[in-house]
Amino acid sequence: MDSASLKTVNPMSRPRIEKVVVNCSVGEGGARLERAQKILESLVGQKPAVRKAKKTVKGFGIHRGEPIALMVTLRKGKALDFLLRALKAVNNTLKYSSFDENGNVSFGIREHLDIPGTKYVPELGMIGMDVIVHITKPGYRVRLRRRRASKIGRSQRVTREEAIEYLREIASVNVVGGPS
């Protein structure tokens, strides 16, 4: 689908970005987690939520209930702005295997300094992060809502190919690899 044909398509069948989730796993609490929290907050403009370990893993020195990661969910304008900056950090290139069959995509950023417009602060250091993009069509909420949840039709679900085409359109994303 090109941009001219998208204007003539039913508006309920156009994909859109539902949310962008940024996950930063530090692996330990304390000062390192607080530094990562400051970096993530400056990148996204929102306070991240602290995530705790679900299990004890003696090999990694992680104990159950210990804060080890940060997560922030972005929606609407903030989500699109951050996504465009994050895609520039990976040169607008994603692997085909990064897309799942439901049209969601996830990719990693090795260092937050790869994101355009960020400056290195020696006191804070560097962090890596995972970016997860959830792409839906209008009406998908019917399946998830609490009151009168209902099934949605197959045409209302986003496929892998629709998600790839949508990201190509809004961000000029290049997808490498492909179905074998």
Q: What is the pLDDT of residues 146-177, one digit of tens each?
A: 999 999 888 889 999 999 999 999 999 999 98
Domains assigned to the chain? 3-176 (3.30.1440.10)
Q: What's the whole-model pTM score?
A: 0.87
Amino acid letter at 165? E
State pLDDT tens for residues 48-96: 999 999 999 888 888 899 999 999 999 999 999 999 999 999 999 999 9
Q: Which pLDDT value is given to residue 9?
A: 77
